[in-house]
Amino acid sequence: MCGIAGYYLRSEQKFTSEKIQALLYPIRKRGPDDEGVSLISTSKKTRQFYKTDHTTPSLAGRLPHIHDQSTLIEHNLALIHTRYAIIDLTERGHQPFVRNDQNCVAIFNGEIYNYIELREELSALGVRFKTSCDTEVLVEGYCVWGNKLWNKINGFWAVVLYDFDSGTIVLSRDRIGVAPLYYRETEEGLYFASCLESLVNIDRGHLSVNEDVVLGFIETGIKDHDHSTYYKQVKSVPSKTTVVLNAGQFSIKEAVSHEYWSFPKARLTPQDISFQEAVERYHTTFFNAVDLRLRSDVKVAFELSGGLDSSSIVAAAAVLCNNKITTYTAKIKDADEEPYARCILKKYLVDYHVIERAEGDFARDYENFSSLMEEPFDNPNAYTHHRMLQEMKKEGVHVVVTGAGGDEVLAGYEASFWPKAYQELKKDGLISYLRADWYEFCRRFKTMKRAQETLRHYAVDSLKIPGRLFGQKQKQAAEVFPTSAGNYQQGYDDLSFHEQALYHFNVALIPFYMRSSDHFTMGIPIEHRFPMLDYRMVELGLSLPVPYLLNGGWTKYILRKAMEPYLPPEITWRKTKMGFAFPYQKYLTVRRETFKPLLSSLNSAGVRMRDHGTYEYLLSTNPKLLWRLLSTAMWFACLNEEIGKS
């Protein structure tokens, strides 16, 4: 992973280097190994490459410095890159990356896991390579296949590419949305970046808060669901989408956008695929997804929680690597699953590490962490996860493979999926698949309904949002209005089982987690890899018949059967998964004096609490809602601090 930024302007000019610096500084933490800038005149077809203070020394001597005003050329396109080197650590992987014939230049954040296979395919077509990095495969692949390239890639990416021959600018984002790509349209033209802060820096004076996103997150915990951000002027390029700007097109609305991939529209039936065939396909795809994510020229390690997903990935990697892998487990107070994680040692002699006291002191660090996250976040466990990864980085780890995504792919969240699963299995005469755990199902079903009703009640009754925020002249508080997130959530119960699964990929869980994960990992930086979210795993998991996922009361049944020969039974047939559930009520009670004052700051920002929406009331009735209010307050505080600096 890396950092990218830049602009495409309506008119050519000699920008001062301060404009470049405003975009570059926020993405610098994402790429500590190298930096580069390219300025391009799209009308004259000319280009100039520049160094910064952080450009790799072996290249720096050949390039003018971006701060040297005398060397800046008239241009309207800037491509900026900060590198976190994972594959081909030499200077040959420097970006912006230009093709040998100089007709294509690109900046790329991400990894192409199947770059070796694509390289071989391109070599057979006559392409000659000068590096061993995946960036060159991307550029050469585009020059050979055009926009058909994106469906060939297995990996994650945010790419901005300029084609000198056609005069087109291409923006592309991976299928699942692992790599962020934000943009902001101004009168000058289009700006883009990996970080929100880069786009905020361009012009703070003309920013306004997106009230729909603010209230929607507080109401529901949902965000990143419709390509909007907390700023009205900043949006996100959609996942699984390529945007092509032809000459003279300077906004996303003018461009041609193409969704090059889609989720399965329907599920197979047991008549379409037998269970044994499904298990074999799952096993083969899963092991290959893990194998591809082992490719790296730096140290790779594995998160091991003791749950089914991370344990399955570790087991597969141990088989593929003959036990020569490194794992990390965290001992979390009141949620210690280390004994389960240790079970993996019964079958594999892996390099096993335990991180103690990973919780850290969030009350002390919340301001810095909130600034790193750039927007409110739904759970302080993100901070705990961030600290775990920091400890791994201190021990030389650069890439971490994680089990995240398995629950979304295989309907592992019982409370979310079981009611509709019950209906569909009953309709098909397959209710026995759930009956073994009928009482547990009833308990979870009631819990889910009660939680939804409570959430809606407090979301509507506790808050008001005025028309404008940011310390501008306040209007009288408007009546509560429905938010886009709230509308999505209210429609959830009416969706089919398959539609609910897609909902978590498109709306509720995956978009938010991908953005959060990117921010708390690349703030270190360390790269997260998700075998469970390999697009082939997603296609297979979201097309499997319901009884292959839920069987005899077991969730993720196909994964259990596929991995049964490779895992100790204590993990394969474990009935409960503790997880790292954050103790909201307990923590916010103990840290009352730290966090309670933040609620009053929401008033000045325009988020107004009624009398019954006090800290104490919400602490006892809805601590998760209280946390979302606090996280929003933290964001406003960071925002006001940055405005004060500007």
pLDDT tens-digit readout, 57-92: 999 999 999 999 889 999 999 999 999 999 999 999
CA nearest to 77, candidates 34, 47, 116, 111: 47
Q: Across the strands, what pairs with 529?
A: 401
> DSSP string covering 269-322, please?
-TTTS-HHHHHHHHHHHHHHHHHHTT--SS-EEEE--SSHHHHHHHHHHHHHTT
pLDDT in tens, 528-555: 999 999 999 999 999 999 999 988 878 8
CB 550 within 8 A of CB 411: yes
State residue 447's pLDDT score: 46
Helix and strand totals (H; E) in the chain: 26, 20
> What local confidence, expressed as pLDDT, does residue 642 receive?
59
Strand partners, 329: 354
Q: Where in the chain is the domain with CATH 3.40.50.620?
A: 264-582
Beta bridge partners of 81: 4, 36
Residue 336: how many other CB atoms lie within 10 Å: 14
Strands 241-245 and 256-259: antiparallel
- Bridge-partner residues for 528, per DSSP? 400
Half-sphere exposure for 433 (CA within 13 Å, toward CB): 23
Phi and psi for 115 in degrees, rounded to 5?
-65, -30
Q: Which of 353, 278, 288 is nearest to 316 (CA)?
A: 288
Q: To which H or E segment does residue 39 belong?
A: strand 34-41
CA distance 643 to 646: 5
Please name the residues in contact with 503: beta carbons below 8 A apart, sequence gap of 6 or more.
488, 492, 495
CA distance 566 to 583: 33
Q: Is the pLDDT of residue 334 over 80?
A: no
Comparing 32-36, 270-274, 448-452, 454-458, the range with the smallest average pLDDT is: 454-458
Q: Specify the pLDDT at position 175.
A: 98
Return residue ranges of the chain for CATH 3.60.20.10.
3-202+231-259
Residue whose token pair is 């996922």: 549
pLDDT tens digits, 283-304: 999 999 999 999 999 999 999 9
DSSP structure class, residue 463: E
Would you report the helix, strand and coil content of the chain in percent, each value rounded to 5?
45, 15, 35
pLDDT band at residue 599 using 50, 70 and 90 as cut-offs: confident
- DSSP-derived pairing of the beta strands 326-330 and 300-303: parallel
At residue 360 the predicted structure's pLDDT band, cuts being 50, 70 and 90, is: confident
Is the predicted pLDDT of residue 462 greater than 60, yes or no? no
DSSP 505: I
From the options 3.40.50.620, 3.40.309.10, 3.40.50.300, 3.40.50.720, give the CATH code of 264-582.
3.40.50.620
Given a cut of 90, whether residue 133 has pLDDT beyond it is: yes
The set of long-range contacts for 145-149, using a CB threshold of 8 Å and a minimum separation of 24, is 147/172, 147/242, 147/244, 147/258, 147/260
Distance CA 630, CA 623 (A): 10
pLDDT band at 102 (very low <50, low <70, confident <90, very high): confident
pLDDT bracket for residue 47 (50, 70, 90): very high
Domain made up of 3-202+231-259: CATH architecture? 4-Layer Sandwich (3.60)
Inform me whether the pLDDT recorded for 464 exceeds 70.
no
Q: Is the pLDDT of residue 354 over 70?
A: yes
With 50 as the cut, is the pLDDT of residue 448 above it?
Answer: no
- In sequence order, the 6+-apart residues with CB closer than 8 A to the CB of 279 are 558, 561, 562
Mean pLDDT of 363-382: 91
Q: What percent of the chain has pLDDT over 70?
A: 87
Report the pLDDT averaged over residues 258-280. 96
In this prediction, residue 461 has a pLDDT band, given cuts at 50, 70 and 90, of very low
Q: What is the DSSP secondary structure assignment for residue 33, as one 8-state letter?
A: S
Tell me what pLDDT residue 519 has. 95
Q: What is the structure's pLDDT at 581?
A: 65
When pLDDT is cut at 50, 70 and 90, the band that residue 606 belongs to is low
